[in-house]
Structure 1
Amino acid sequence: MQILSDGMVGANFRAAMRKFPATVTVITAVKDGIDHGMTVTAVTSVSMDPPSLVICLNSKTLLHEMLLCQPDFAVNVLSHAQRPLSEAFAGKVEPHARFGLANWRRHEAGMQLLDDANANVVCRRMAAVPYGTHTLFIGQVVHATVAPSTIPLIYEDARYCVSQPAA
């Protein structure tokens, strides 16, 4: 086995992670009456008992700071038709204008839920685990809805994709 330099390990790891297809989500939160959201692909389930998931956020982001200060957040799973929304929440549109690009409704906990999302999952933060440049936020699910029939938006190898059933 060849020992790689730290730079090579990082480059190879980045290339390997691009091969991990991920569902595209927009995480939303509200603090002091200000809504914010960000496109995130680092989301996965943790447990069914209690129902919970984890999101991973860079510690330099505004959303990261918001989730350290208040406990509630929503995961809005995008459908294949919502690529422009993903790009907007990834930074192509200023934060104050992003929520004007689609229909949203306010959850009783305060954050915005995307009306025509593939799914909406509202969580209460139960833990925040810092690691390297990111923090893993573990959220216990307090509310979830699923659209009857949509195709999720997937991100793989630096491009948007949709899933297809295997032959």
Structure 2
Amino acid sequence: MTLTVVPDETVGTSFRAMMRKFPATVTLVTGCNEGVDHGMTVTAVTSVSMEPPALVVCLNNRSYLHEMVLCQPHFAVNVLTQEQRPLSDAFSGKVAPEDRFQPDEWERHGSGVLMLAGAHARVVCRRVAAVPYGTHTLFIGQVIDAFVDDVTRPLLYENARYCISQPAA
């Protein structure tokens, strides 16, 4: 097998093109700092460990949520359902931060963070590590609470568009 080396000047462009074709689950990551709730759409979320249960969330260093997760010990990851595309758009910046949380859609967890009541899955984490890398920080969170709806399906994002998961034939 021959390995082709991509020239340095094209690695970033090639990587961006590859990542566009890499389907990801759409989540809303939420935090709360001094009574102010904030959240944003994030696709860079994955499991880290089952013992102890943990996941990683990657946030841009320039985002307000990044600062919030650095300052507060808890955050929530809300996996959207196929029907919740408008929420993804709203939390991606199409709606002002102060107008994103509709009271009838959210529940406050005992840790203080908001969880989306109708989400496909909800995970509340206690931040245990923050690893800066390039333009982002990898926040590792130990899971303190988790819920999944066995009926709904998660919303996916691939190649700049929303997708749905289907069982393979």
TM range (shorter): over 0.9
2:14 paired with 1:4:
no
CA distance in 1, matches of 2:23, 2:129: 26
Could you tell me which residue of structure 2 aligns to residue 34 of structure 1? 36
Partner of 2:73: 71
* Alpha-carbon distance in 2 for matches of 1:90, 1:71: 23
Q: Which deviations, in whole Å up to 9, do the C-alpha atoms of 1:43-76 show, x marking residues without a partner?
A: 0000000000000000000000001111100000
Distance 1:89 1:32 in 2: 20
Report matched runs for 1:137-152 at 5 Å. 137-152=139-154
Aligned mates of 2:6, 2:124 — CA distance in 1: 43
Equivalent residue, structure 1, for 2:157 = 155
Counterparts of 1:3 and 1:24 in 2: how far apart (Å)? 30
Structure 1, unmatched stretches of 5+, are none
Q: 2:86 & 2:6 partners in 1: Cα distance?
A: 42
Distance 1:102 1:9 in 2: 45
Q: 1:154 is aligned with what amino acid?
A: L
The one of 81, 86, 90 aligned to 2:88: 86
Distance 2:131 2:47 in 1: 16
Q: CA deviation at 1:147?
A: 1.2
Aligned residue type for 1:18: R
For 1:72 and 1:99, locate their aligned partners in 2 and report how far apart those are by CA, in whole Å: 18
Q: 1:3 to 1:153 in 2, by over 3 A?
A: closer
Q: CA RMSD in A?
A: 1.1
**How does the TM-score come out when normalised to structure 2?**
0.95
Query: How far 1:148 moved relative to its partner?
Result: 2.8
Distance 1:5 1:120 in 2: 40
Q: Which residue of 2 aligns with 1:52?
A: 54
The alignment of Structure 1 onto Structure 2 pairs a total of residues equal to: 166
Identity over aligned pairs, percent: 64
**TM alignment of 1:71-150, pairs within 5 A:** 71-100=73-102, 103-150=105-152
Return the offset for 1:90: 0.5
The match for 2:26 is: 24
